[in-house]
Amino acid sequence: MTVRQALTEDLDAIGEIYAHYVRHSVTTFELDPPDRQAWRARFDAVTGAGLPFLVAELDGAVAGYAYCTPWKPRPAYRGTVENSIYVAPWATRRRVGAKLLDALLVACPEAGVREVIAVIVDSGDPSSVELHRRHGFVEAGRLAKVGIKHGFQLDTMLYQRSIG
Protein backbone atom coordinates (compact mmCIF):
# COMPACT_ATOMS: atom_id res chain seq x y z
CA MET A 1 0.00 0.00 0.00
CA THR A 2 1.20 3.48 -0.82
CA VAL A 3 -0.17 6.78 0.45
CA ARG A 4 0.46 9.85 -1.68
CA GLN A 5 -0.87 13.29 -2.51
CA ALA A 6 -4.13 13.04 -4.46
CA LEU A 7 -4.14 14.14 -8.08
CA THR A 8 -7.01 15.38 -10.22
CA GLU A 9 -6.77 12.04 -12.04
CA ASP A 10 -7.91 10.36 -8.80
CA LEU A 11 -11.16 12.30 -8.53
CA ASP A 12 -13.32 9.76 -10.38
CA ALA A 13 -12.19 6.96 -8.05
CA ILE A 14 -12.62 9.23 -5.02
CA GLY A 15 -16.11 10.12 -6.20
CA GLU A 16 -17.04 6.45 -6.59
CA ILE A 17 -15.86 5.61 -3.08
CA TYR A 18 -17.79 8.50 -1.58
CA ALA A 19 -20.93 7.80 -3.65
CA HIS A 20 -21.13 4.37 -2.02
CA TYR A 21 -21.27 5.94 1.45
CA VAL A 22 -23.72 8.65 0.38
CA ARG A 23 -26.13 6.07 -1.03
CA HIS A 24 -25.74 3.17 1.38
CA SER A 25 -24.80 4.57 4.78
CA VAL A 26 -25.34 7.32 7.29
CA THR A 27 -21.59 7.98 7.52
CA THR A 28 -22.08 11.22 5.61
CA PHE A 29 -25.06 13.53 5.77
CA GLU A 30 -24.94 14.27 2.04
CA LEU A 31 -28.00 12.86 0.28
CA ASP A 32 -26.76 12.99 -3.32
CA PRO A 33 -23.24 12.09 -4.44
CA PRO A 34 -21.26 15.11 -5.67
CA ASP A 35 -20.41 15.08 -9.37
CA ARG A 36 -16.89 15.39 -10.77
CA GLN A 37 -17.18 19.18 -11.00
CA ALA A 38 -18.05 19.37 -7.29
CA TRP A 39 -15.13 17.08 -6.47
CA ARG A 40 -12.80 19.28 -8.51
CA ALA A 41 -14.00 22.33 -6.58
CA ARG A 42 -13.50 20.51 -3.26
CA PHE A 43 -10.04 19.32 -4.32
CA ASP A 44 -9.05 22.82 -5.45
CA ALA A 45 -10.33 24.37 -2.19
CA VAL A 46 -8.41 21.90 0.00
CA THR A 47 -5.14 22.01 -1.92
CA GLY A 48 -5.47 25.76 -2.53
CA ALA A 49 -5.63 26.26 1.23
CA GLY A 50 -2.40 24.29 1.58
CA LEU A 51 -4.14 21.42 3.37
CA PRO A 52 -3.45 17.73 2.77
CA PHE A 53 -5.56 15.67 0.35
CA LEU A 54 -4.24 12.10 0.19
CA VAL A 55 -5.06 8.80 -1.46
CA ALA A 56 -4.06 5.25 -0.59
CA GLU A 57 -3.35 2.82 -3.39
CA LEU A 58 -3.59 -0.95 -3.19
CA ASP A 59 -2.75 -3.08 -6.21
CA GLY A 60 -2.69 0.02 -8.42
CA ALA A 61 -6.20 1.17 -7.47
CA VAL A 62 -7.36 3.98 -5.19
CA ALA A 63 -8.41 2.19 -2.00
CA GLY A 64 -9.28 5.26 0.04
CA TYR A 65 -8.72 8.94 0.54
CA ALA A 66 -8.36 11.48 3.33
CA TYR A 67 -8.26 15.24 3.50
CA CYS A 68 -8.68 18.18 5.87
CA THR A 69 -10.89 21.22 5.52
CA PRO A 70 -10.96 24.35 7.66
CA TRP A 71 -13.15 23.81 10.73
CA LYS A 72 -14.82 27.23 10.49
CA PRO A 73 -14.23 30.21 8.18
CA ARG A 74 -13.57 32.80 10.88
CA PRO A 75 -9.89 33.78 11.23
CA ALA A 76 -9.56 32.79 14.89
CA TYR A 77 -10.18 29.15 13.88
CA ARG A 78 -7.18 29.11 11.55
CA GLY A 79 -5.07 26.08 12.39
CA THR A 80 -8.12 23.97 13.26
CA VAL A 81 -9.38 21.50 10.65
CA GLU A 82 -11.91 18.73 10.22
CA ASN A 83 -10.65 15.47 8.77
CA SER A 84 -12.48 13.18 6.36
CA ILE A 85 -11.45 9.59 5.65
CA TYR A 86 -13.22 7.13 3.36
CA VAL A 87 -12.13 3.63 2.36
CA ALA A 88 -13.36 1.74 -0.70
CA PRO A 89 -15.75 -1.05 0.34
CA TRP A 90 -13.44 -3.66 -1.21
CA ALA A 91 -10.49 -2.37 0.87
CA THR A 92 -12.01 -2.31 4.37
CA ARG A 93 -10.25 -4.18 7.17
CA ARG A 94 -6.91 -3.79 5.39
CA ARG A 95 -5.60 -0.87 7.52
CA VAL A 96 -6.19 1.64 4.73
CA GLY A 97 -7.90 4.08 7.09
CA ALA A 98 -5.07 3.77 9.61
CA LYS A 99 -2.39 4.43 6.98
CA LEU A 100 -4.32 7.42 5.65
CA LEU A 101 -4.81 8.91 9.11
CA ASP A 102 -1.12 8.35 9.94
CA ALA A 103 -0.09 10.25 6.80
CA LEU A 104 -2.69 12.97 7.33
CA LEU A 105 -1.44 13.65 10.85
CA VAL A 106 2.15 13.85 9.58
CA ALA A 107 1.10 16.34 6.88
CA CYS A 108 -0.91 18.56 9.23
CA PRO A 109 1.93 20.42 10.99
CA GLU A 110 3.47 21.30 7.62
CA ALA A 111 0.13 22.92 6.75
CA GLY A 112 0.01 24.95 9.97
CA VAL A 113 -2.60 22.74 11.61
CA ARG A 114 -2.73 22.74 15.43
CA GLU A 115 -6.04 20.93 16.07
CA VAL A 116 -7.83 18.20 14.14
CA ILE A 117 -11.54 17.58 14.67
CA ALA A 118 -13.27 14.37 13.60
CA VAL A 119 -17.06 14.54 13.28
CA ILE A 120 -18.25 10.94 13.50
CA VAL A 121 -21.86 9.89 12.99
CA ASP A 122 -23.09 7.63 15.77
CA SER A 123 -24.24 4.84 13.46
CA GLY A 124 -23.61 2.03 15.93
CA ASP A 125 -20.45 0.98 14.06
CA PRO A 126 -17.46 1.63 16.35
CA SER A 127 -14.75 1.41 13.66
CA SER A 128 -14.30 5.15 13.04
CA VAL A 129 -14.25 5.96 16.75
CA GLU A 130 -11.72 3.19 17.36
CA LEU A 131 -9.54 4.39 14.47
CA HIS A 132 -9.44 7.91 15.84
CA ARG A 133 -8.86 6.82 19.45
CA ARG A 134 -5.91 4.66 18.34
CA HIS A 135 -4.47 7.81 16.78
CA GLY A 136 -4.71 9.92 19.94
CA PHE A 137 -8.10 11.59 19.43
CA VAL A 138 -10.23 12.14 22.51
CA GLU A 139 -13.97 12.64 22.75
CA ALA A 140 -14.84 16.34 22.80
CA GLY A 141 -18.63 16.23 22.71
CA ARG A 142 -21.85 15.03 21.14
CA LEU A 143 -24.47 16.80 19.07
CA ALA A 144 -27.83 15.04 19.47
CA LYS A 145 -30.26 14.45 16.61
CA VAL A 146 -28.51 16.85 14.22
CA GLY A 147 -29.01 14.69 11.13
CA ILE A 148 -31.81 12.75 9.51
CA LYS A 149 -30.93 10.21 6.86
CA HIS A 150 -32.58 6.99 5.66
CA GLY A 151 -35.33 7.62 8.20
CA PHE A 152 -33.00 7.78 11.21
CA GLN A 153 -32.34 10.71 13.54
CA LEU A 154 -28.60 10.73 14.04
CA ASP A 155 -26.14 12.11 16.57
CA THR A 156 -22.60 13.15 15.76
CA MET A 157 -19.67 12.67 18.10
CA LEU A 158 -16.81 15.13 18.09
CA TYR A 159 -13.28 13.83 18.57
CA GLN A 160 -10.23 16.08 18.75
CA ARG A 161 -6.47 15.75 18.58
CA SER A 162 -3.85 18.39 19.23
CA ILE A 163 -0.88 18.37 16.89
CA GLY A 164 2.61 18.96 18.17
DSSP character string of 83-140: EEEEE-GGGTTTTHHHHHHHHHHHHHHHTT--EEEEEEE--S--HHHHHHHHTT-EEE
DSSP state of 10: G
pLDDT, residue 19, reads 98
| Domain chopping of the chain, boundaries | 2-162
Q: pTM of this prediction?
A: 0.96
Q: Supply the pLDDT for residue 82.
A: 98
Measured between alpha carbons, how far is 41 from 15 in angstroms, rounded to an integer? 12
pLDDT in tens, 103-140: 999 999 999 999 999 999 999 999 999 999 999 999 99
- Under 8 Å between Cβ of 64 and 79: no
51-95 pLDDT, tens digit each: 999 999 999 999 999 999 999 999 999 999 999 999 999 999 999
CATH of 2-162 among 3.40.50.300, 3.40.190.10, 3.40.50.720, 3.40.630.30: 3.40.630.30
Q: Please tell me the predicted confidence (pLDDT) of residue 164.
A: 73
